[in-house]
């Protein structure tokens, strides 16, 4: 459990253009009601990033920013 806790704490979310793109991609997925398709594509892309040597802490931050965008998109569609 302690090992998992330390790994979770290493998640890195940067203030960059890429983070904005990930959030917007998540919002788009929620608005278009294609959550599964967009999520599968995004996770495959993140898997390839890790496979090609990207830091897993950065990848988990990318996934967190996508999830934030997806939640925002779903909430917007719930209101509309």
The per-residue pLDDT string of the chain (80 residues; one tens digit each, 9 = 90 and over) reads 555 555 556 777 878 898 899 999 999 999 999 999 999 999 999 999 989 988 888 888 899 999 999 999 999 988 88
pTM: predicted TM-score of the whole model, two decimal places: 0.82
Strand, coil or helix: 80: coil
Give the pLDDT confidence score for residue 13 in this predicted structure: 80
For tokens 């599964």, name the residue.
Answer: 36
Please give the pLDDT value at position 73.
93
What is the pLDDT at residue 78?
87
Return the domain boundaries, the chain.
13-79
Distance CA 32, CA 35 (A): 8
Count helices and strands (H / E) in the chain: 4, 0
Tokens, residue 10: 């290493």
Q: What is the pLDDT of residue 16?
A: 86
């Amino acid at each position: 459990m302690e090992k998992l806790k330390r790994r979770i704490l290493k998640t890195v979310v940067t203030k960059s253009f890429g983070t904005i793109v990930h959030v917007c991609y998540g919002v788009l997925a929620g608005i278009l009601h294609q959550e599964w398709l967009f999520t599968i594509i995004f996770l495959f892309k993140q898997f390839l990033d890790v496979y090609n040597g990207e830091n897993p802490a950065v990848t988990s931050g990318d996934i967190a920013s996508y999830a934030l965008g997806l939640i925002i998109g779903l909430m917007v569609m719930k209101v509309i």
